Amino acid sequence: MPSVRPAVLALQGSVEPHLRALSEAGAEPIELRRPDQLDDITHLVIPGGESTTLSHLLDLHSLARTITDRVMAGDLALLGTCAGAILMGRDDDEAPRRWNLIDIGVHRNGYGRQVHSFIGDIEWISGPRSGASEGVFIRAPRLDRPAAEVEILATRAQEPVAVRQGRCVACTFHPELTTDTQVHRWFLEL
């Protein structure tokens, strides 16, 4: 994958498992912490973690604006898992501030608190795979009210859990916490 230069945002959250998954998918990802590191990056993963903390750190390190500008210009593919998915959603005046990169409502802790985290079946409709697979949901957000241009990639109990709009992909679960690297392989092809 010589023309693909992926990175994982390494300010907070599930960084190492995404680096491993991208490496197993055949890429050589870097840990991204500064805006100047974005210059040559083609694909960026915003990992799960705590969305409010992540939002503050992105602003503190002057990364939020740079990332969204690159995505809007079509220069950067973005994969957000859990907290990353929250930031990518529609700005419905919920904290933390959303980036409006995917036209869908995203609600923090949609399945409950940390003790309500679970591993459950998801059904892939399109995208990286088809059929059932396992999803790891940790204080996971819920998605609702997708706009017509939002492609639903996977569902759980008929509810969207993975979506795509353009080169932006949001997963409410943690694909990096399984041994299946198909989501990361597919993302690198966007």
What does each C-alpha distance from 55 to 6, 64, 65, 162 come to in angstroms?
A: 21, 8, 11, 21
pLDDT 10s digits, 99-130: 999 999 999 988 888 888 999 999 999 999 99
User: Quick check: is 92 in a domain?
Assistant: yes
Tell me the residue ranges of DSSP E strands in the chain: 6-9, 30-32, 43-46, 77-81, 105-107, 118-124, 131-137, 142-144, 151-156, 159-165, 168-171
Active-site hit among 43, 168, 176, 184: 176
Q: Which residues contact 103 (CB under 8 A, 6 or more apart)?
A: 90, 146, 147, 149, 150, 165
For residue 34, the enclosing domain spans 6-187
Sequence-distant (≥ 6) Cβ neighbours of residue 126 within 8 angstroms:
151, 152, 153
| CATH number of the CATH domain containing 63 | 3.40.50.880
Catalytic residue among 82, 168, 171, 184: 82
1 within a domain of the structure (yes/no) = no
Q: What is the pLDDT of residue 2?
A: 54
Question: At a CB cut-off of 8 Å and minimum separation 6, what does 51 contact?
Answer: 83, 86, 87, 96, 108
- Indicate the number of domains in the chain: 1
With a cut of 70, say whether residue 12 has pLDDT above it.
Answer: yes
Residue 99 inside a domain? The answer is yes
174 carries an active-site annotation: yes
Answer yes or no: is 39 within a domain.
yes
Amino acid found at 4? V
pLDDT value of residue 113 = 82
Contact 53, 10 (CB under 8 A): no
- Tokens, residue 119: 């591993």
Percentage of the chain beyond pLDDT 90 is 93
Condensed to tens digits (0 to 9), the pLDDT of residues 129-188 reads 999 999 999 999 999 999 999 999 999 999 999 999 999 999 999 999 999 999 999 999
pLDDT of residue 112: 84
Q: Report how far residue 21's alpha carbon sits from residue 176's, in angstroms, rounded to the nearest whole number.
A: 6
